[in-house]
Structure 1
Amino acid sequence: MKKVDLALHVPSFSLKKRKRIPQSFSYPSVTLVIILFVWELCGRLNLIDPFMFSWPSKIFAKAQDFFATGEVFKHLAVSGMEVGFGFAMALIGIPIGLMMGYWKKLELTFDPFVTALYTTPMIALTPLFVLWFGLETLSKVMMVFALSIFPILINTMAGVKMTDISLIKAARSYGASERQMFKEVIFPSAIPFIITGIRLAIGRALIAVVVAEMLAGNIGIGFAIRHASELFHTAEYLAYVVVLMVLSVLLTELLKKFEKKLAPWRDR
């Protein structure tokens, strides 16, 4: 009986690498479509009171209106500047976290104060920030800084502590200086934790700027949300909220891309 070479009977299409849509894109897209469909259906069936809430088509129409007039860009420019300056200042949490995570005495000295400030409801202190820094841009910048620095700092500390001790011992055995230790061992090990801290800080920064502008602002996304809510323009109010949500997602995705460039070994 002749042996059959099974390899010859494998269909040709199985030998080719088929292109597929990434699951990271397809899964959330399908979920979003289902949510929007059900939400829109509830609105069209009058199951949603338009005074109390709204639905996707009305929100999208309002978003088209203020994008067409350019009003949203005026608010985004101001809020973006405030978030940018405050967040840039908050990045000082990276070197502070590296030092506190590496030197035990420094951690013992300052960790209780960091914990106390992190758990303090900073939003409740907004009137105090306005009193200290005025009604203009500086008070919003400082609010963003105050809410953003601690997730970065605490996650950086955790990243340093999670560094493999065998790598530290190996670097020391080869005579690595403190500078080389930080550059070649500590910092690369802490990168995923730093990126996580920055991702958490992005959300807190947006919360800070919106709350500060709602309470003490005459321009910006927070002011626009407050103004629309005071007039009971629910669809417009939610349209601005959706703009913030989309912006937050875009910033997070850009950060993920940056992490892949900075730490390619983490791409799994």
Structure 2
Amino acid sequence: MTINADPAKDTPALFGLRSYLDGSLGNSRAFVLGALSLILVGVGWEASAIYGWVNPLFLPTMGEVGEAIVKIVSRDDFAHHLAVSGYEFGWGLGLSVLIGGILGILAGWFKPVEEFLQPIIIAVNSIPNLALIPLLILVFGIGTLPKIILVMLACIVVMVMNTAAGVQSADKQLMRMSRSFKANQFQLIRTVVIPSVVPYFMTGVRICVGKAVVSVAVAEIFGSTAGLGHILIIAQSSFNMPDMYAAVIILTAIGIALTQTAAVVERFFLRWRG
């Protein structure tokens, strides 16, 4: 039996569909197909709830969830919960980017620093964040500090590893040429290393945005008096399924919006680098 290695000959209909989509949708193809996927998920959800494919006790209709979202967002204390989660997210992510970026540059530039940090990075990266939440709450209470620490533990490792990889990818020939012109360490880092680090660093930031949102929400679920995760756990404990799904959707929407914002910033810095 012979296997044709040319996929274009095997799937002409698929490639014809792709050409049609490229021609008819153009630059809006990604948006249209993404919207279509969400519509299909919504249709499946609504059908499952209406026709009882999933127990209606556990899966409310989209209309009920929509009403719950409006109710939660309209509550007087929603701004407070959002501000608490935003505070924890902002401080955790900001400190992670700052500390992780500095340590990543040092680890990528100085071999002894990399060797010193490596066991710590491996250890922190190997510990499940969920396992740390009870310990952090026990030591620091249920305030904002344990949530910030959890975000940092989840994100600093990513920033250090990405930034160090960016430093090590710097053009060696360009560095030798810069040294031949008597460039010092600071000048090498500023003119050669940092432009090489930018794409790695910004990719790390984009990854960390999602990890930070998840860390804040999970930490608030385990122990908090305010925050979006607190809304979720209150709904779950009272078996209010529409509110629970609404809280999940709000968190997801915020995570998507922040991740897309980070992607836009990343593209800006990549254009600056180019």
TM-score band, normalised by shorter chain: 0.7 to 0.9
Alpha-carbon distance, 1:21 to partner: 4.2
Unaligned 5+ runs, structure 2 = 1-23
What's the % identity of the aligned pairs?
A: 28
d(CA) in 2 for partners of 1:170 and 1:27?
Answer: 48
Q: Which amino acid aligns with 2:205?
A: I
* Cα separation, partners in 2 of 1:56 and 1:71, compared to 1, 3 Å: farther
> Which residue, 75, 78, 81 being the options, matches 2:84?
78
Change (3 A) 1:115 1:60: same
Q: Does 1:107 align with 2:114?
A: yes
Q: Give the equivalent residue in structure 1 for 2:68.
A: 62
Number of residue pairs matched by the alignment: 250
Could you list the runs of 5+ residues in structure 1 that have no partner in the other structure?
1-17
Q: Secondary structure at the match of 1:22?
A: helix
Match of 1:48, SS state, is coil
Is residue 49–residue 59 contact of structure 2 (8 Å, CA) maintained in 1?
Answer: no
Q: Distance in 2 between matches of 1:266 and 1:175?
A: 24
Deviations 1:162-216 (A, max 9, x none): 2232222232223222112111211111111111211221222122212221222
Residue of structure 1 aligned with 2:253, choices 241, 246, 250: 246
TM-score by length of 1: 0.86
With structure 2 as the length reference, what TM-score do the two structures score? 0.84
**Deviation per residue, 1:16-57 (Å, 9 max, x gap):** xx9944333222112112221222222222222222233432
Deviation beyond 4 Å, 4+ runs, structure 1:
18-21
Match 1:51 to one of 30, 42, 57: 57
| Alignment partner of 1:24 is 2:17 | no
Alignment of 1:148-167 (within 5 A): 148-167=155-174
Give the aligned partner of residue 201 of structure 2.
194
Q: CA deviation at 1:226?
A: 0.7
- Greater mean alpha carbon deviation, residues 225-234 or residues 35-44: 35-44
Distance 1:27 1:185, change over 3 A: farther
Between structure 1 and structure 2, the one with the greater Rg is 1
Partner of 1:8: none
User: In 1, distance between residues paired with 2:62 and 2:203?
Assistant: 31
Specify whether residues 183 and 67 from structure 1 end up closer, same or farther in structure 2 by C-alpha distance, changes over 3 A only: same
